């Protein structure tokens, strides 16, 4: 049985990635923190694709909690391993830097950047042992271009991009690829509160993207066909930033 873990898998891009990987035959581990109902809905969508999965509740920003949950799963599955990891969990706490509370800076970096370390580090050894793995990190247009009002988010996603490029070089000889996806404006809860009508005018494609479009790219990067793609950041933004 093939296993894939998607952090922040209860909604949005994470949910769409769970469904796409289920379509590819993966048993899906749906990570979530608080919204059990939403996570169960994701799991039901996975089952509708003819696959199964399980819920893994942990806060990616909490090292002990994350490591405990992953190690408990590994001990319960001694002959199996997580071969696809999608580091998707993240939050926005937008504000001008001059007005940004320290908590908003720290929280965004802890979930996105520390979360990447907390989840990836304990999963890597099994990938290296089996000489196969796919690590897909969710970056952002904000991490490439920088967006005003998102200094914390841009810093976190920019850090993910740098970490992706470095880790890819460390593990390539073990047939493990590490790539990042940098979505633009995708129609999920993450864009709630933004002026969609005004923003669409700045996008050459004249629309927000769909979570399923990002998930299709996740699926390709997870596939054997993408084995020679590593250390890359792939934008999916309707031509907004090229």
10-residue averages of pLDDT along the chain (242 residues) = 96 96 98 94 97 96 97 96 97 93 97 97 98 97 91 96 98 98 88 79 93 97 97 95 66
Q: Beta strand pairing status for 82-87 and 133-138?
A: parallel
* pLDDT at residue 216, rounded to an integer: 98
pTM of the model: 0.95
32 tagged catalytic? no
* pLDDT at residue 242, rounded to an integer: 58
Distances (CA, A) of 5 to 33, 117, 120, 196, 200: 14, 14, 10, 31, 32
- Angle formed by the axes of helices 12-23 and 36-48, nearest 10°: 30
Distances (CA, A) of 192 to 41, 79, 93, 186, 195: 21, 42, 12, 10, 9
From the list 3, 81, 153, 241, the catalytic residue is 153
* pLDDT at residue 11, rounded to an integer: 93
What residue spans define the domains of the chain?
A: 3-236
pLDDT, one tens digit per residue, over 29-51 is 999 999 899 999 999 999 999 99
* pLDDT at residue 197, rounded to an integer: 85
Q: Beta partners for 27?
A: 3
* pLDDT at residue 131, rounded to an integer: 97
Residues 6+ apart with CB under 8 A from 164: 137, 139, 178, 179, 180, 231, 233
* The two three-digit tokens of residue 71, written as one number: 């190690």
* pLDDT at residue 2, rounded to an integer: 96
Q: Beta strand pairing status for 3-6 and 176-183?
A: unpaired
Q: Considering only CA atoms, which of 195, 167, 189, 193 is closest in space to residue 179?
A: 167
Q: Which one of 1.20.1600.10, 3.50.50.60, 3.40.50.720, 3.30.70.270 gives the CATH number of domain 3-236?
A: 3.40.50.720
* pLDDT at residue 198, rounded to an integer: 87
Q: Is 37 exposed, middle or buried (0-12, 13-18, 19+ CB in 10 A)?
A: exposed
């Amino acid at each position: 049985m093939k296993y894939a873990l998607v952090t922040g898998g209860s909604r949005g891009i994470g949910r769409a990635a769970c469904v796409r990987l289920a379509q590819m035959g993966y048993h899906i581990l749906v990570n979530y923190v608080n919204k059990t109902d939403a996570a169960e809905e994701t799991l039901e969508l996975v089952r509708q694709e003819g696959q199964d999965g399980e819920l893994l509740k942990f806060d990616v920003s909490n090292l002990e909690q994350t490591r405990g949950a992953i190690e408990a799963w590994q001990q319960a599955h001694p002959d199996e391993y997580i071969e696809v990891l999608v580091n998707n969990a993240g939050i926005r706490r937008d504000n001008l830097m001059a007005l940004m509370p320290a908590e908003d800076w720290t929280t965004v970096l802890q979930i996105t950047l520390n979360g990447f370390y907390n989840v990836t580090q304990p999963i890597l050894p099994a990938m290296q042992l089996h000489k196969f793995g796919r690590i897909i990190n969710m970056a952002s247009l904000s991490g490439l271009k920088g967006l005003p009002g998102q200094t914390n988010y841009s810093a976190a996603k920019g850090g993910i991009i740098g970490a992706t490029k470095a880790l890819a070089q460390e593990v390539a000889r073990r047939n493990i690829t590490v790539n990042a996806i940098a979505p633009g404006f995708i129609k999920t809860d993450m864009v709630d509160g933004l002026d969609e009508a005004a923003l669409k005018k700045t996008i050459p494609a004249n629309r927000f993207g769909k979570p399923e479009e990002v998930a299709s790219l996740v699926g390709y990067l997870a596939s054997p066909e993408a084995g020679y793609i590593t250390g890359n950041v792939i934008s999916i933004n309707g031509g907004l930033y090229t």
